Structure 1
């Protein structure tokens, strides 16, 4: 069932979307930075700082991240600006150390033990936190990068497949998926999959893009993180 954008945009009839946690599913740090700022959250998860096409998210979840940080799958980009994971077609843009010129230090193997330990903690937290309660997963538009293999354009069916996979992984959770900046507004499947667009006001000159636009989007969706009443 598809709901018109007008119904989603009508804040007068849209109830608050009350959730226990909000979790980023990429595709980049733009989303993570704005989620943390708006919701005053600092809890980190695996997809926060990678650059990940939608197909990469699906593959990572289906394989339970098996093979991630395998040195055979990693390659420094030709310009030295990022690290490519060929197996999962993603960029480890913030994981590896850089030199004074901002280029990735090519000695990747030496950094892997610490990165694996850090990632295991993030993975365990992700699986534990998302297992129960009301979870809002947020997926921002896929970003084209010449270091990645081009993917088919994201579609309603691809987002439905992602939603079904999340429900399969976390059967005890009450899941909603919010998809942003893919060229549409509205909802699918009785509001379990939501779509909205961020207006870019040009109020930032960094990777956060438009904090004002993101604030409006989150407010328009009436997202609220549940806070238990104080017992005094």
Structure 2
């Protein structure tokens, strides 16, 4: 039985993944909406606990971390499914990038030989999307989110290696959720790739990869998605990366 934490676990993609994983594992759901989390816990059963908190706010994130550390001495799988469809650039940065990074770092001491997974976007969109810092409209903000999550994976590969912990990203498929008008109209509520990547032994030592909705590894453009570029692009948001101004000019 594994100990699993799923952010955004009260609905949509996170709940769909939790439904599969909670059958034979201990799961902690994280989300903003306590009512949704209560309903999810009732639906999924005794293997599930939850903690409500906004991961984009430092004090709320700390409350979540304290709950997790109080309830488990080890996390086998951490799945970042939480996210928003942002209406401005700062909300995008806080919710779709920094929340993932700082929660992962805060839980390092209980991530030992573990797996970290980040839910991201469609493989075709990721392949075609440029890495751009401009967020003037909804399309730009969506592009920013998926590309910067991919870069975050590259940044965290080395930081998690000391814990013998892997990190990968995956596209969950088109899944019914309240994220946007399009996803509200969908009928699919299943995300089998979540449990596959979380538990299957063949992914035990795979890190820094990106997978499609059936668990196939998707080749990445290494000119865009490499460790040096990731640090360069993300360092203005994540000061701890320590990427110097000299490097940024190169």
Q: TM-score, normalised by structure 1?
A: 0.43
In terms of fraction of residues, the more helix-rich structure is 2
Q: TM-score, normalised by structure 2?
A: 0.40
In terms of fraction of residues, the more strand-rich structure is 1
